[in-house]
Structure 1
């Protein structure tokens, strides 16, 4: 009887996971397109094709939904980054350039646009601020760790840790510049030149 019950529960659990994922993806899309003010639980539920009650079953509060959405998509991106790491050039400036390009792509894509709306909202929403601050800090640490890993950077060498972090900060700035207009042409030149600077710093310890 127990085995039958467990088997019967599986499709229900699968549907629940699928519903949760649709809600998270819809929340990110709504934030990127509508901003915080235009992204309510009702709007997200409609976009995901589920009832408001179903949405609140998975995410009791608006803050739960949107912080969960950013975390979900950021983790997906980090997993994809790890999977693509094996395709990077083996060493030197070409590898450094490829890594910098991948990081910049994150900050000029829909994930960053959605996250930015959440950060701006957190500046004015007391209930949201500590959760977004903690989330941004955790994602930032993981992005830095992953960049160090892909660059094979030795942070014991003077200036390496700071320059890797400067790469992430630069990528964030490029993402902001891209919000108002297509900045791809200028960005391409900056990524190329910064990759050469970064590679020079990485080679100090060799």
Structure 2
């Protein structure tokens, strides 16, 4: 699974082949094909696996992190600026024109999205049945996704830090 994500990050969707992944992982092509018939199945499973693992890492980091709104937004923004996001982005772009892959990616995106949303509610210690909370938290997740996208072509760390600080102040007022 990790070899697949590494390959996606380094080579993109078009350069991620089942043969390349099997070589990186040190398994035979037959063993790889036994578990995953298509590149789409392999890549979706890898992103889901690493995504679930990353959510667990995010939870562990949250346990030791400061509990301020700024620290929570920064933590979630850093999570989205990881290699996992880059791998997921490769999948999203490929899924745009591949109906079979699109089905898998939509399911995966929804599941991981719910987990991160729930974790954000927990970390921010807010109740999304209160007016405005659901929209504010979802806007936060959309914002950090956009910031992570901007970071794909050039290091956007400084601007991202400024936007995160600014947004955290606005979010604190809203919540």
Deviation at 1:61, TM superposition (A): 2.2
Cα separation, 1, equivalents of 2:63 and 2:106: 32
Tell me the residue number matched to 1:88.
Answer: 65
Once the 2 structures are TM-superposed, how far is the Cα of residue 60 of structure 1 from its aligned partner?
A: 2.5
Structure-2 residue corresponding to 1:30: 7
Structure 1 runs of 4+ with >4 Å offset: none
- Alignment match, 2:27: 50
Residues 1:115 and 2:92 aligned together? no
Higher relative contact order (CA 8 A, sep 6+): 2
CA offsets 1:157-192 (integer angstroms, 9 cap, x no match): 221110100000000100110011111111111111
Q: Which residue of 2 aligns with 1:8?
A: none
Equivalences for residues 53-202 of structure 1 within 5 A: 53-90=30-67, 95-202=68-175
Q: Which runs of 5+ in 2 are unaligned?
A: none
- Superposed CA deviations along residues 44-81 of structure 1, whole A, max 9, x for unmatched, are 00111111111112222222211000001110111112
Aligned residues: 175
- Deviation digits for residues 65-124 of structure 1, max 9, x if unmatched? 11000001110111112222221224xxxx111111111112211100010010111111
Instruction: Tell me, in whole angstroms, the C-alpha distance in 2 between the residues paired with 1:156 and 1:137.
Output: 20
Structure 2: distance between partners of 1:85 and 1:185: 22
Question: What TM-score do the two structures reach when normalised by structure 1?
Answer: 0.82
In structure 2, distance between residues paired with 1:174 and 1:103 = 11
TM-score normalised per structure 2: 0.96
**What secondary structure sits across from 1:35 in the alignment?**
helix
Find the residue that maps to 2:37 and give its secondary structure: coil
Structure (1 or 2) with the larger CA radius of gyration: 1
Distance 1:86 1:159 in 2: 26
Supply the distance in 2 between the matched residues of 1:65 and 1:138 (Cα, whole angstroms): 17
